[in-house]
Structure 1
Amino acid sequence: MDEYVERRFERTDVAYEETLTAWRPKSDDLSASATEART
């Protein structure tokens, strides 16, 4: 059971990293336009 949980978290970690990398440019754009809208 522990082994399964650990393996699941490892895979989730990788997916999380990939998601962060994929979204980084987009979230930068979003925060930039959000800042402009706020001004």
Structure 2
Amino acid sequence: KYLEYDRTMLAGDARRKEAKKFGGPGARRRKQKSYR
């Protein structure tokens, strides 16, 4: 299940990953709440 959900995130999270690096811990929290 984790891999399947992770694959979808990577498929449409490639741009979000960049924002995460830019936003740092703040962006990471938002992502957690989003996929949570």
Q: Same fold (TM over 0.5)?
A: no
Structure whose alpha-carbon radius of gyration is higher? 1
Q: Which has the higher contact order (CA 8 A, sep 6+)?
A: 2
